[in-house]
């Protein structure tokens, strides 16, 4: 299997016959997990960025792998009726939005198909119970946070993302999927950095000061939380810089300095200093309020997050008598959403700052039956069961890599009646599901949710239940 698991010919025939530089005319069948078009020639697979399903395209083979090849789109011979001109003039250069050139209804269909194909490919389900995808009424300006690398280009300070497959920084002055207030905060911060001549970090030389700009807006209050990531714990002309940022950025609630001195790809360092304003920003989802420190993870699309959490609540089916474990709890967003209908909820999170935020959020909300613990869920859950706390429901929301073997084995040992799996990667969700099906769980339904319009990403909520009568020798009694 290659990276997407496409069925190809076996044995010697499985080697691709493509040659680098070869010019081909190929039909495109569908969208891949990274937003590229997937075409076929001689029953072999080509990945073609920019191509769309139902198009006939002329391409140049750029890289040949053992079981597939990459190609550059040269010409769209027969365009899809769903193709459109991207509203963002640098969408192809930036690479952050892979699907701006596809109509939004067609994006939703492609994402729903992506989920279905993953389950057919990796599980024994030939007709997986997938519900129609939940899309957005307004699929623009939805991101509440911008996290942009800072660099220099032609003597100017820029902030943006690295172009796909390169280390060239593309300036994002007005990103159409980010909230307008985030765009404004980033622009104004760049102006202040330029005028006060703050040194920009150069990772090749490992010299300089300002590495990253992070701006987050509260959809509830409209306030802005601004964080400068730097290599040192002090800024030159710090008081003046802070005052100028306050003067120029409307609705600014806080300015923080995160210190990241290492030569690393990690955005944040271990220390965050408040330069001015509130230590935490308030956000609201439904009736629940959250306090967010600068480094705290929070869903990037608050509008769709409410829809997602409603699906999570439906899957959990709480009646007031259940014990729940939220195994990747972050700042407690899912746990607090479920809290009104649970007997007790325990959250587990590896990041200590997020645990502190979650505890404060639970206290502010008045939920004395919700508790959060720092650590690894695969270690803590079995210990709780041995101590007498056996969950009826376990909720997991792992990173894109999915659950590791240790976490899946812990779930099998803990034996919750219902498992609610929130996933941002259909492939790892399907692979994890296949294992859990072997261990006595069945899939009730899968609900895709479009959390990131214009991109290739798709979120899912999958409800799994333990088959009655199924036992496992490794289960905890």
In whole angstroms, give the CA distance from residue 446 to residue 441: 14
Tell me how far apart the alpha carbons of residues 451 and 146 are, in angstroms, rounded to a whole number: 16
CA–CA gap between residue 41 and residue 62 (Å, rounded): 15
Q: Active-site residue among 88, 424, 460, 475?
A: 424
Which residue from 445, 330, 341 is spatially nearest to 393, judged by alpha carbons? 341
CB contact at 8 A, 268 and 257: no
Catalytic: 424? yes
Which are the contacts of 23, defined by CB distance < 8 A and separation ≥ 6? 58, 59, 60, 61, 74
Quote the Cα angle for 255-263-203, to 5°. Answer: 85
Separation between Cα atoms, residue 454 and residue 177, nearest integer Å: 8
- Asked whether 266 and 258 are in contact (CB, 8 A), the reply is no
Closest CA to 86 of 157, 176, 24: 176
Q: How far apart are CA 112 and CA 97, in angstroms?
A: 18
Q: Report the alpha-carbon angle 284-326-334, nearest 5.
A: 15
88 — phi, psi (to 5°)?
-90, 125
In the block, which residue shows the tokens 């995808």? 133
* Overall size of the chain counted in residues: 477
Distance of alpha carbon 350 from alpha carbon 330, whole angstroms: 8
User: Token match 């070869």: residue?
Assistant: 22
Give residue for tokens 């959403």. Answer: 337
The catalytic residue positions are 424
């Amino acid at each position: 299997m290659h990276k997407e698991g496409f069925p190809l010919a076996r044995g010697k025939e499985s080697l691709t016959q493509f040659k680098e530089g070869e010019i081909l005319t190929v039909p495109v069948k569908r969208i891949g997990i990274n937003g590229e078009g997937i075409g076929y020639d001689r029953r072999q697979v080509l990945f073609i960025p920019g191509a769309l399903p139902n198009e006939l395209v002329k391409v140049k083979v750029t890289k040949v792998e053992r079981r597939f090849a990459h190609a550059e789109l040269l010409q769209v011979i027969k365009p899809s009726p769903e193709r459109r001109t991207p509203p963002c003039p640098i969408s192809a250069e930036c690479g952050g939005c892979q699907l701006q050139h596809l109509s939004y209804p067609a994006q939703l269909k492609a994402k729903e198909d992506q989920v279905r194909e993953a389950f057919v490919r990796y599980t024994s389900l030939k007709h997986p119970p997938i519900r129609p995808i939940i899309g957005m009424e307004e699929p623009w300006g939805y991101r509440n946070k911008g996290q942009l690398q800072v660099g220099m280009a032609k003597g100017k300070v820029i902030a943006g993302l690295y172009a796909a497959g390169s280390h060239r920084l593309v300036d994002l002055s007005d990103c159409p999927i980010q909230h307008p207030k985030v765009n404004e905060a980033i622009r104004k911060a760049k102006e202040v950095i330029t005028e006060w001549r703050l040194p920009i970090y150069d990772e090749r030389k490992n010299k300089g000061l300002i590495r990253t700009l992070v701006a987050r807006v509260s959809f509830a209050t409209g306030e802005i939380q601004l964080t400068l990531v730097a290599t040192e714990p002090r800024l030159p002309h710090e008081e003046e810089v802070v005052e100028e940022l306050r003067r120029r950025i409307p609705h600014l609630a806080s300015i923080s300095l995160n210190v990241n001195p290492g030569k690393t790809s990690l955005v944040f360092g271990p220390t965050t200093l408040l330069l001015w304003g509130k230590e935490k920003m308030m956000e609201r989802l439904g009736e629940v309020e959250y306090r967010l420190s600068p480094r705290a993870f929070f869903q990037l699309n608050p509008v769709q997050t409410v829809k997602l959490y409603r699906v999570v609540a439906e899957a959990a089916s709480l009646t007031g008598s259940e014990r729940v474990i939220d195994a990747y709890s972050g700042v407690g967003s899912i746990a607090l959403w479920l809290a009104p209908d649970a007997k007790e909820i325990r959250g587990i999170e590896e990041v200590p700052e997020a645990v502190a935020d979650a505890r404060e959020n639970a206290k502010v909300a008045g939920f004395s039956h919700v508790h959060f613990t720092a650590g690894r869920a695969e270690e803590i859950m079995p210990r709780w069961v041995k101590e007498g706390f056996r969950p009826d429901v376990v909720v997991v929301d792992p990173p894109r890599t999915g659950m590791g073997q240790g976490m899946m084995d812990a779930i099998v040992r803990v034996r919750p009646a219902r498992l609610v799996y929130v996933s941002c990667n259909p492939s790892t969700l399907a692979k994890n599901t296949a294992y859990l099906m072997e261990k006595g769980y069945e899939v009730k339904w899968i609900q895709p949710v479009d959390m990131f319009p214009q991109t290739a990403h798709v979120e899912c909520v999958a409800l799994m239940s333990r088959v009655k009568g199924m036992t496992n020798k490794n289960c905890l009694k």
